[in-house]
Structure 1
Amino acid sequence: MTVIRVQRDDFDIGKEIEALRKGSTGIGAIVTFTGTVRDAHGEVTAMTLEHYPGMTEKELARVEAEAHARWPLQASLIVHRVGRLEPGDNIVLAAAASAHREAAFEAARFLIDYLKTSAPFWKRESGPSGDKWVAAPP
């Protein structure tokens, strides 16, 4: 099972994980990562995330399929928000479920590393000094 959603609305982490594991008794490990908007130094009042509908989902499906090819996953999940978000808001949820924890950890790290560095999302931070585009980390 794979789930990919790009949406404006917030998500409920517990409900997402429950849906991911529903009906699957072969799952022994679920590793999740939740990313949130942070304002560590009073410099971010909002973050706006943009994407190209259709292209983004296709690319997320490609990377999720790659994770399933590399690790023995029973299920995976990517939920990524777009639009204007404020500090403390959820941005992304990535999860990998497998019979064993090692595969789940490795696949979850692969998914979130891709989302952080290469996924087709564009981020603009707003703060007291104005707006600025955020470059993806290397």
Structure 2
Amino acid sequence: MGMNAEELQAYLVAEFPQAFGAGRPHRVVRVDAAGVGVTLAASEEHLRPGDTVSGPSMMGLADIAAYAVILAAIGPVPLAVTTNFSINFLRKPQPGLLVADARLMKLGRRLAVCEVGLRAPHEGDAPFRVTGGEELCAHAVTTYSIPA
């Protein structure tokens, strides 16, 4: 019923080629019992003045990660849509890799609530997972509507 990392990446490449696939900035890096990890290779197009990753780019990554964690749990449901989105920007990430770690807080028949932590890993950091002791760049909570 759900999707593993390879299935999820393939689905997102097919449905969202503007964000996923060869030469595109997003990639699913993990699907496991704790949630989903999605990365953004933040380049020039994702920056704001001051050479930090822009708020809209971080919001997009968080929303994509929330969608991905829902699909990983319930399978390909293309019409699941964001109904609420709240984000707190905590630190200014520099250009480069940005990691979103998404987990389901609640999965119901019609609504899913997700929590997403974003961080810019330091060189040598592994795995792609926010563990609570690391400094977050942003924290988001989203609600998605799941079609019948």
Give the TM interval when normalised to the shorter protein.
0.3 to 0.5
Going by fraction, where is helix more abundant, 1 or 2? Answer: 1
- Provide TM-score, normalisation by structure 2: 0.32
Q: Which has more radius of gyration? A: 1
Question: Highest relative contact order (Cα 8 Å, sep 6+), 1 or 2?
Answer: 1
